[in-house]
Amino acid sequence: MTMGVPMSTTNSLTADDLGSAAQRERRKRILDATYDLARDGGFDAVQMRAVADSAEVALGTLYRYFPSKIHLLVSALAREFERNEALFRKMEIPGDTAAERVIFVMKRTTRGLQGDPKLTEALTRAFMFADASVATEIHTVGMLLTSMLTRAMHPDDDHEPTDQDVAIARVIGDVWLSALVAWVTGRSTAAETGAHMETAVGLLLRD
Q: Give the x/- contact pattern for DNA in 59-98, rule: CB under 7 A.
A: xxx-xxx-xxxx----------------------------
One-character DSSP codes across 132-152: GGGHHHHHHHHHHHHHHHHHH
> In the Cβ-directed half-sphere of 126, how many Cα atoms lie within 13 Å?
32
130 binds, among a copy of itself, DNA, none (CB under 5 to 8 A by kind): a copy of itself
Taking the least distance from each CB to DNA, the nearer of 45 and 171 is 45
Residue type for position 181: V
User: 112-119 contacts: CB < 8 A, separation 24 or more?
Assistant: 112/84, 113/180, 114/183, 114/190, 114/193, 116/39, 117/42, 117/184, 118/38, 118/39, 118/40, 118/41, 118/42, 118/45, 119/35, 119/38, 119/39, 119/42
Taking the least distance from each CB to DNA, the nearer of 67 and 112 is 67
Site for a copy of itself in 174-193 (CB under 8 A): 174-175, 177-179, 181, 185-187
174 binds, among a copy of itself, DNA, none (CB under 5 to 8 A by kind): a copy of itself
Give min distance, CB of 65 to a copy of itself, in A. Answer: 22
Radius of gyration for the chain, computed over Cα atoms and rounded to the nearest angstrom = 18
Give min distance, CB of 73 to a copy of itself, in A. Answer: 13
What does the binding site for a copy of itself look like in residue numbers (CB under 8 A)?
125, 128-132, 134-135, 138-139, 167-168, 170-171, 173-175, 177-179, 181, 185-187, 196, 199-200, 203-204
